[in-house]
Amino acid sequence: APALSVRELRKTYDNKVQALKGVSLDVAPGDFFALLGPNGAGKSTLIGIVSSLVNLSEGSVSIFGVDLQRHRDAAMRLIGLVPQELNFNMFEKPVDILVNYAGFYGVPREEALKRAEVELKRAHLWEKATVMSRTLSGGMKRRLMIARAMMTQPRLLILDEPTAGVDIEIRRGMWKTLKEINAAGTTIILTTHYLEEAESLCRNLAIIDRGRIVEQGPMKALLAKL
Ligand code: ADP
Ligand code: ADP
C-alpha cells in the first residue's frame, strides 16, 4: 500500500472558505515527498487532515493502507508529526524531552534511552543531550523537534513548513538530519513554499494552488518543465 493515499479530498471551513477542492495524491513507501505551494494554497489544511488535527469534509485518506476515518488510532500510530512552532519545555534537557515523549506513547524507559541516543546523534545533538534546552541554538532546537517526532519510530514523518523563517545554515542542518532519516527507511512528506528546498531534498512532489493539485510527479521531470 502507498505510505499515503488521498482521494478526492475536500475541505470547507465554517467560514465557507474552500481550502481543498478535490485533492488526490499517492506517496510511495520510502519516498521523500514535497507538497509545494504559495501561502493559502491549502498545504496546512491537507497536512492537518492527514494528521487528524482537522476534520475532512469529503474524501478519504489512508496511511500504509489503514483508513484514517475507520481506524484513526491505528493510522496515527504510523505517523510522526513535526509542528512548526517549538513546543517543548525549554527547561528540560533534550534527552529527557525525548525519553518522556516516548514514555507517553508507552515505550519502556530502557528502550527509549536507546532510541534517544540514535535520534540525538542523527540530529547532531548528542553532545547537547544534557544541557538545558533553552541554551540550544535555533538550529538545534529545530532538530530536537525532528528527533522527538522520531521517538515513536513512525513509518511516515510529516513536517509542515519545517524551515519557515529560518536562515540557510539552519535549513542545511535540518536537511541533513532529514536525509539521514529518509535513508534509513522512513517516508517523509513536507510542505514548503521554497522550490529550492523541494529541489534539494525530494524525489517526488505535488504543486498545490488554491486548493487544487496543479502538477504532480518526479522532481526531475518537473524541473525540466519549469
Ligand atoms: P497554506 O498552508 O498553503 O498556506 P492553508 O491550508 O493554511 O494554506 O489555507 C488554505 C485556505 O484556507 C486559506 O484561504 C486560509 O485562509 C483558509 N483557512 C485555513 N485555516 C482556516 C480556518 N481554521 N478557518 C477558516 N479558514 C481557514
Ligand atoms: P545551527 O544549526 O543553529 O546553525 P549548530 O551548532 O547546530 O547550529 O551547527 C553547528 C555545526 O553543526 C554546523 O557547522 C553545521 O554544519 C553542523 N550541523 C548541523 N546540523 C547537522 C547535522 N544534522 N548533521 C551533521 N552536522 C550538522
Q: How many alpha carbons fall within 13 Å on the CB side of residue 195?
A: 6
C-alpha cell at 204: 517526488
Atom of ligand 1 nearest to the CA of 38: 3
C-alpha cell at 4: 499515503
- pLDDT-flagged residues of the chain (< 50): none
Amino acid, single-letter form, for residue 130:
T
C-alpha cell at 62: 489512508
Q: Find cell 474524501 and name the residue.
A: 59
Q: What's this model's pTM, rounded to 2 decimal places?
A: 0.94
Q: Whose CA is nearest to atom 6 of ligand 1?
A: 42
Amino acid, single-letter form, for residue 179:
K
Helix/strand number for the chain, H first, E second: 8, 10
The pLDDT of residue 129: 98
Distance 43 CA to ligand 1 centre (A): 8
C-alpha cell at 133: 534546552
Q: Whose CA is nearest to atom 26 of ligand 2?
A: 124
Distance 19 CA to ligand 1 centre (A): 6
Q: Whose CA is nearest to atom 27 of ligand 2?
A: 173
The pLDDT of residue 134: 98
Find out whether the beta carbon of 13 lies less than 6 Å from any atom of ligand 1: yes
